[in-house]
Amino acid sequence: MLRSAILGAAALALSAPAIAGTFVFETANPVSDRHVIAESVVWTCEDTKCFGELDRKKASVRICKKIAKEVGVITALRNDKSELTADELEACRSAAKS
């Protein structure tokens, strides 16, 4: 019985999604609110830099566009494993809030 419970717990742990990682985005202009909600995350902002926990492995243009709709032009989006390139940031600009 105990063995079955341990095996079941191990299987569940292995099938669970990756744990959220800290992402950082930077904006062209200071963010007016201390807290911004974008991509279903509450981001904590100071001046032009914002931090949030996002359940993704790497930065993407899709994430960037969703954030840009809320805060404007994004100049950087990264976590400890990835960062958007200049071309990807340019693709993100089309979604930026005016």
Grade residue 97 by pLDDT with cuts at 50, 70 and 90: confident
Distance between CA atoms of residues 49 and 56, nearest Å: 19
Distance between CA atoms of residues 60 and 12, nearest Å: 28
Distance between CA atoms of residues 24 and 75, nearest Å: 11
pLDDT per position as a tens digit, 10-57: 444 443 445 568 999 999 999 988 999 998 999 999 999 999 999 989
pLDDT per position as a tens digit, 45-67: 999 999 999 998 999 999 999 99
Instruction: Give me the residue label for tokens 């990264």.
Output: 78
Instruction: Please give the backbone phi and psi of residue 68, each rounded to the nearest 5 degrees, phi first.
Output: -60, -30
In a domain, 13, yes or no: no
Residue 72 structural domain: 19-95
Confirm whether pTM is higher than 0.85: no
In a domain, 61, yes or no: yes
In a domain, 5, yes or no: no
In a domain, 74, yes or no: yes
